[in-house]
Amino acid sequence: MFKIPSFKSFYSQSDVQAVLAVIDRSMFWADGPDIEEFEHNITAFTGVNHALAFNSGTSALLSGLLAIDVKDREVICPSFTFIASANAIELAGGTAVFADCEPDTYGLDVASVAAKITPRTKAVMTIDYGGCVSRDVLALRRLCDEHGLLLIEDAAQSFGARADGAHAGFHSDFAIFSFCQNKVITALGEGGALITNNAALHNKAKYLRSHGRVDEPGKKHFETSVDNEYLFPGYNFRMPSVNAAFASSQLRNIDEHLSRRRKVAERYQANLAGLPMLRLPVPPAGHSHCYQMYTVALPDNTLRDGLREHLLAAGVQVRCYFEPLHHKPYFRNKNPELRLPMAERLGGTVLTLPMFPALRMEEVDSVCQLIQQFFNNATQAV
């Protein structure tokens, strides 16, 4: 066990009561009214017309990609991301084409994307790294519109983040969120959602989520006495009612979650701003960061690995998010000659520090003191 873990899930008694209410009714633990309530709450919070709850962000992304039909087509995406982003493209029958990222928010670089567009390109998928909407999301929107492409936003890490007043995912053809245990809000461990302003895409993804089934009008699957119609093969990607109830309760308290995270980030910023060798996650003008992660970047891999070992030895859990996907076995075998300088540089120099709402200020100070100690020792050794 670590003295200071990378995250702890945050909950309130109202979250617990929401779960108990579902359990106590002894029915509709699956496909209950809590699902639609959560979806309504998401649309109200994000300002996007349609939302679907899923059992994970990955299943939401896969369903969205299947809904837009990327089979035998290319989807341009970052290599500097969690592997689910590219895996979902491949599982949907498409080809993940990696582009490089920009150095500010680590989203897709517009020039790199433009150079990757071919007649086979169907869509562009950017990510919102660590809780900050991609710096170039509007430029990517314009590029996609110019080329007749769809824009997808893997916003797994950015629920609660905004850019120029618009919530993450607002400018995309569809976006997905994750409600895993380490996210800004969680669906009791695992969960996800897809948002879109496209009604047809929403309907297709909804059918894919539950076996391709069309429910009897006005009734849920477990309320009807007749068999339903099934339009095409689908999956069981449904979010259980307990998880939806928990997530809705968390969403009602999201302002507190965000405030706590931002206070932790401010403390890191105040303590570490005087270290010139650390690049801190400062959002661009007009961006509101939700700080799902607090990731710093160092000048080189040697310093990053040294600081990582120094913190781990002191009982502080830190992570290296992410190693570029084109260095992973499956994608490396498909793209053995691919070079993406910024993604590779970031993969070797980023370090994610502990970040969660219940992180105490004295714990933040302790982490920062260890970081300062490391740099003092490194300076003396030169």
Q: Which residues are catalytic?
A: 183
Region of 160 (left: φ > 0; alpha: ψ -120 to 50; beta: rest) is left
* Cα separation, 196 vs 187, whole angstroms: 20
Which whole-number Å values give the CA distances from 12 to 37, 185, 227, in the listed order? 19, 12, 40
User: Within 10 A of 40 (CB to CB), how many other CB atoms are there?
Assistant: 12
Distance CA 143, CA 137 (A): 10
CA distance 153 to 134: 9
Q: Tokens at residue 116, please? A: 């990757």
Would you say how long the chain is, in residues?
Answer: 382
Output the CA angle 295-297-300, nearest 5 degrees: 145
Q: Are 246 and 273 in contact (CB under 8 A)?
A: no
> What is the rounded distance in angstroms from the CA atom of residue 259 to the CA atom of residue 279?
22
For strand 95-99 and strand 162-163, is the pairing parallel, antiparallel, or unpaired? unpaired
Which two tokens mark 61?
A: 């992304």
Q: Dihedral sign, CA of 25, 245, 38, 248?
A: positive
Give the integer Cα–Cα distance in Å for 361 and 264.
Answer: 7
